[in-house]
Amino acid sequence: MDETGILKGKGSNGLVLGRAKTKSVRKKQPGSRAWVSIIKCISAEGIPLYPLVIYKGKTVQQQWFPLDLSPVFLPQTAPSQSGQARLLILDKHGSHITTEFMWQCYINNVYLLFLPPHTLYVLQPLDQSVFSPVKSAYRKELRYLSQWNDLTIIGKRNFISCYQKARLAGLTAQNIKSGWKYTGLWP
């Protein structure tokens, strides 16, 4: 499990046509520049869980943390036989080390493995092979959306639509498995 952020209306650099006398040519970006946090979880079998999308707000941290495993993680990782344990690998963020979160893991037979500080860029499978392709596909979707409509504002509906397409393109079983293999956490 790991968290990443995306600017809702931030596309990417690209080739544009402009006048030769102009020093720089501006490229149109869709309106919003609001930050969206996304919590993702993947299995070593190459299966992505549904993401948790968190929009900017004044009370976001109090609403979503400590993490609640019930709505997303537990149902999607239900073991085939009762009593089987699950392993959740995550960073040692303060929101994960609360009594409520630890108790929730204990009563649901979820073992926790906290990655050592300052090693996430090496040991986190999502950082190694998933976040970059998803963000690249998201920027491609934004470019496509903005080239057809000058007035496009990246609201929540457009963001979710673009992100879902990007998620399907970048969050492949092959990318997920290669992240696990690269980190050495799973063969």
**Model confidence pLDDT, tens digit, residues 66-94:** 466 767 788 888 888 888 999 999 887 76
> In the prediction, which pLDDT does 67 show?
60
* Average pLDDT of the segment spanning 31-45: 84
Instruction: Read off φ and ψ for residue 107, nearest 5 degrees.
Output: -70, -20
10 to 34, 66, 102, 167: CA distances (angstroms): 9, 29, 36, 16
- Confidence band (pLDDT; 50, 70, 90) for 148? confident
d(CA 59, CA 70): 20
Please determine, for residue 65, whether its predicted confidence score (pLDDT) is greater than 60.
no
Does any domain span residue 165? Answer: yes
Best-predicted range by mean pLDDT among 21-25, 27-31, 69-73?
Answer: 69-73
> In the prediction, which pLDDT does 61 show?
55
Does any domain span residue 113? Answer: no
* Token duo for residue 4: 């990443």
* Token duo for residue 43: 């299995």
Q: What is the DSSP letter of 7?
A: E
Does any domain span residue 108? Answer: no
Range of the domain at 26: 2-64+120-183
Q: What percent of the chain has pLDDT over 90?
A: 32
> In the prediction, which pLDDT does 43 show?
93
Please determine, for residue 96, whether its predicted confidence score (pLDDT) is greater than 70.
no
What is the tally of structural domains in the chain?
Answer: 1
